[in-house]
Amino acid sequence: MNNMASSQLPDSIICERLILRAPKLDDALALQQLANNKNIHKFLERLPNPYRHEHAIDFINNLARSKEEHAYAIITKDKEFIGVAGYHLNCKSGVELGYWVGEPYWGKGYATEAVRALIVEARKIGVKQIFAHAISKNIASIRVLKKCGFIITKEKIDNCGPHKGVMVSYLKYENNNA
């Protein structure tokens, strides 16, 4: 479903422990503080480093909800900003799912909960194929995706961008029961 419009997706998603909602300017400081982390940057191809406040503002105002992107701020039920998840809508045969969670929140199951919620919402509106990719050394991210029903379809060396020369795993959602 390559012409999926952002308008088909919900503005917010309520999960067991999380709320996924449109990023707001009030999130900019927390976004900047969590994203300005070399441990986050080394695994993400589109995140500048250092990540400045103006990057957060630009993401919120211009990129998060656009023709090609439908991003959600990941918020705990205590209203704490912990990361970003969403869809890249401009894929030829489906959508690409992406996410990151701030380092203080790693290992708590938040990424898995957010990814599962995104899968459910994409399937509700008829998305047939969901893709993801991760740097192959990012074992934790690949584990999250596999736990949610993705399988690795190929691995190859990235040939452009900040991770040129790095092995990347490409995954496809295969499990309707995950």
Domain boundaries, the chain: 6-173
Q: Phi/psi of residue 68, each to 5°?
A: -105, -15
Cross-strand pairs, 20: 13, 74
Please say whether the beta carbons of 87 and 96 come within 8 A.
yes
* C-alpha 145 chain-centroid distance: 11
Percent of the chain residues topping a pLDDT of 70? 92
Segment 79-105 mean pLDDT: 92
Please say whether the beta carbons of 166 and 138 come within 8 A.
no
102-111: long-range contacts, CB 8 A cutoff, minimum separation 24? 102/34, 102/35, 102/37, 102/40, 103/34, 103/37, 103/39, 103/40, 104/34, 106/140, 107/140, 109/17, 110/17, 110/18, 110/74, 110/76, 110/82, 110/83, 111/83, 111/85, 111/141, 111/144
pLDDT of residue 154: 95
pLDDT of residue 44: 86
pLDDT of residue 166: 87
- pLDDT one-digit tens code per residue, 13-58: 999 999 999 999 999 999 999 999 999 988 887 788 899 999 999 9
- pLDDT one-digit tens code per residue, 97-137: 999 999 999 999 999 999 999 999 999 988 889 999 999 99
Percent of the chain residues topping a pLDDT of 90? 74
Give the C-alpha separation, 55 to 32, whole Å: 8
pLDDT of residue 178: 47
The structure tokens 């211009």 sit at 62
Question: Model pTM greater than 0.75?
Answer: yes
> For 6-173, CATH number?
3.40.630.30
Query: What is the SS3 assignment for 171?
Result: strand
